[in-house]
A and B are shown apart, each in its own frame.
Chain A
Amino acid sequence: MDFDLTQDQRLMVESVGRLLADTYAFEQRKALLKTEQGWSPALWAQYAELGLLGLPIAEEHGGFGGGAVEVMLLMQEFGRHLVLEPYLATVVLGAGAIRLAGSPAQQGEILPAIAAGTTRLGFAHYERQARYDMTDVMTTATGAPGGGGFVLEGAKSVVLHGASADALVVSARTAGSRHEAAGLSLFLVDANAPGVTRRGYRLRDGTEAAEIALAAVKVPGHALVGEKDNALPVIERVVQAGIAATAGEVVGAMEAMQAMTLDYLKTRQQFGRPIGDNQALQHRAAEMMVALEQGRSMAMLASMMVDEPDAADRARNISMAKVGVGQSGRFVSQNAVQLHGGIGMTEEYAVGHFFRRVMVIEHMFGDTAYHLDRLADGVA
């Protein structure tokens, strides 16, 4: 067992921390949110320069060759500053699918472009009727007339950073019926291809997402990512990587909320003394710390299980982490607002922004109830 950071990991965390301290003060972030894009292309270029966009990408594809632990540590920094750039969508999810299943040609083309910051991806898997069910896919891909390609038809919902992505990794049924595990395939689709309609909006935390309609979208045969009819294992692993990455992000956000709350408890005066003198509030703060540490342990678990070869063991542990981090995040963020009182309810104050990021993350990739239910299936 080893919980220490390596020299490289420490250096990365420190350099990212320094960059974000300079660029992601609350007022700077608020200004970014007001731009049309809602995030900073200039910072994206800086992430590329720092090697962050290639962090989990192999060195032969211009990346850093890091693993899920490095991604978790980076996401923790991102969570501490509520970073808005499409790292999760592009590097963790989109590039993750290409890394796991892409052909050598796809990998050679896409991954270096991601690492360089010139291509951004979206992961278009979940559909409106599916809620969190990974097999509930109604989008279809049928063989194009004349052979050698596919035609995609369907709709994808709440695709993270979908409106600004250059290309989308889209799941579709090439066989089987709704809810069937077999028969799913992944396609790399030009986001501006004819027939792709994207309606962008902001999520409650200010990040961007989109509803995407696919109407007779033609893609060539080499757009297929991985094995035809057998994409579910890849989708599962991409989602698991997303869970592990966002678990780190939630830990960073919890740390920030905890620090803000402690600061507030020590400075806010009522009845002539700091409100933190009240034991009721002290104990709540201690309970927040307990939740944060338990959540941190679960984020570590998730990142260390992402590459576990035993699929059942991996899925079970990552579900446990999703539940643990979800519950910790909810407890810490709700109490952070509560202990701040009225100011915690205002848009002008940072705590509510962290609160909403944690809330949005809890509703990605299966919420707490969904994963607890999966774990209940496995009780024996």
Chain B
Amino acid sequence: MDLRFTPEELAFREEVRGFIRDNLPREIRERMRLGHPARKQDIVAWQRILNARGWAAYSWPQEWGGPGWTAVQKMIFLEENLAAPAPEVSSFNITMLGPVLIQFGTEEQKRRYLPRAANLDDWWCQGFSEPGSGSDLASLKTRAVKEGGHYVVNGQKIWTSTAHNADWCFLLVRTDPKAPKQQQGISFLLVDLRTPGVEVRPIISIDGSHHLNEVFFTDVRVPVENLVGEENRGWSVAKYLLGNERTGIARLGKSKERTRFALEKAREVNMNGKPLIEDRGFRTRVAQIEVDMKALEITQARVVSAYDKSQDGRPDPLSSVLKIKGTELLQGTSELLMDVGGPQAMPVWQQELAALTNEPALLPEWAVQATPAYLMLRAASIYGGTNEIQKNILNKAVLGL
């Protein structure tokens, strides 16, 4: 038993860190440090820089343009990228669509979509959830009826992250409403969002941002060659996508980076006339977070190390532990930073807009930004399978309840 990285892994970490340091545009890094969400152009720019290095499709096999990394290397890459802090590569393109096409797609689909997904030439979004189908995804109702060479799609998706930025959507539709089980009769389609009949409407979330959308499909004609896998077998495609190896699900690098940033800011703000960093209660709170991060780091290493050794490549049910604890830490560290900001974290103030008219900084930008980040991260325990669903998974897969 050994917790240490091998010299090769340590060298790899240095290589990744060095590359990010030398190639991440300074302006992007600075905005992210201040807590701004990455803008579309930042995400695209950074993913293309990574792709030129052969790293954007970090989890794909080499045959399809991936670097062929071990699970440990992927973990190191993701952590360094988050800790930089740099924009995350598009999870829709890289961890969802890519592996699905590689597993289920036709040669033609792979050739057509994979290189563009890696380079973020196409921005993909995920059309899974519906107003009536959240955690109970298999109950989805969006219909697709085959008419000649097309599926005609009618229905509505919701909570569709970044659909307003997206070019394409991978969509779960019901192709056989008479199937005996609701998991049967579902198909997985690739939909060009410029197709007539697609309408994207924004949902403004509690952080004030436009991240989520509703997507309406009215007689949208999708060519039959955009079916992935077999018709009516889309549920196994979706299950594969959702259960895919989730090395990065804990997003520990982000929690670590936000904690470091909070400590830095805790030197600048006061508590009872002394720097907050000297306050005992604050220090104990940080110590507890550090304990939880350390435990998660080792649990994650156990999962990743087991993944590298397992032959079947099936997801470890312990991934659910990573999701639960990882999101609790993301939420906990965002709360910490907001609390460091204190009253200055409460105003709605866009310094970037003010700067356009040469207005001087009115408030510390990091503090103002800490609150929307905190608000947005309340979603972390909801998306990707709510933490309650993760507990159900543990019960079924491990505990036998």
Contacts and interface: CB of A to CB of B under 8 A. Distances in A.
Interface stretch (B121-129, B161-169, B300-308): B300-308
A372 B284 contact: yes
Interface stretch (A28-36, A47-55, A189-197, A298-306): A298-306
B353 interface: no
Contacts of A303: 1
Contacts of A285: 395, 399, 401
A376 B305 contact: no
Interface stretch (B84-92, B291-299, B360-368): B291-299
B1 A69 contact: yes
Contact of A1 (B5, B286, B299, B391): B5
Nearest to A261: B399
Contacts of A283: 388, 391, 395
A42 interface: no
A107 B309 CA distance: 42
- Main SS at interface, chain B: helix
A262 interface: yes
A249 B1 CA distance: 17
A304 B3 contact: yes
Interface in B310-365: 318, 321, 324-325
B78 to A, nearest CB: 16
B399 A324 contact: no
A4 B309 contact: yes
B1 A3 contact: yes
B294 A304 contact: no
B210 interface: no
Contacts of B286: 376, 379
A266 interface: yes
Contacts of A290: 321, 324-325, 394
Given A2-B305, A300-B3, A375 B291 contact: yes
B280 interface: yes
A287 B3 contact: no
B63 interface: no
B302 A320 contact: no
Given A1-B2, A286-B391, A375 B401 contact: no
Interface in A276-322: 276-277, 279, 281-283, 285-287, 289-290, 293-295, 297-298, 300-301, 303-304, 317, 320
Contact of A286 (B277, B283, B302, B394): B394
B299 A293 contact: yes
A372 B291 contact: yes
B60 to A, nearest CB: 23
A235 B204 CA distance: 59
Nearest to B394: A286
A380 B325 contact: no
B288 interface: yes
Interface residues of B, number: 44
Nearest to A286: B391
Given A289-B394, A375-B290, A379-B286, A297 B299 contact: yes
Contact of B298 (A279, A300, A378): A300
A294 B2 contact: no
B284 A376 contact: yes
Given A1-B305, A285-B401, A293-B321, A372 B294 contact: no
Contacts of B9: 1
A239 interface: no
Interface in A230-286: 262, 265-266, 276-277, 279, 281-283, 285-286
Given A1-B3, A290-B321, A298 B298 contact: yes
A301 B321 contact: no
B70 to A, nearest CB: 11
A323 interface: yes
A294 B72 CA distance: 19
Contacts of A298: 294-295, 298
Interface string A6-23: 000000000000000000
Given A265-B401, A282-B401, A372-B291, A1 B72 contact: yes
A286 B284 contact: no
Most buried by A among B72, B290, B324, B398: B290
Given A285-B395, A286-B394, A293-B321, A276 B291 contact: no
Contacts of A375: 287, 290-291
Contacts of B324: 290
B359 to A, nearest CB: 36
Most buried by B among A5, A293, A317: A293
B1 A4 contact: yes
Contacts of A69: 1
A13 B306 CA distance: 20
Contact of B400 (A262, A287, A294): A262
A276 B2 CA distance: 37
A109 interface: no
A59 interface: no
A373 interface: yes
A69 B4 CA distance: 14
Given A283-B391, A300-B302, 12 more contacts: A1-B3, A2-B2, A3-B305, A3-B306, A265-B401, A279-B392, A285-B401, A290-B325, A297-B302, A373-B284, A376-B284, A378-B287
Closest 4 pairs (CB-CB, A-B)? A297-B298, A286-B391, A375-B287, A376-B283
26 contacts: A1-B6, A1-B301, A1-B305, A3-B301, A3-B305, A4-B1, A69-B1, A265-B401, A266-B400, A283-B395, A285-B401, A286-B392, A286-B394, A294-B321, A297-B298, A297-B299, A301-B295, A304-B3, A320-B295, A323-B287, A324-B295, A372-B288, A372-B291, A376-B286, A378-B287, A379-B286
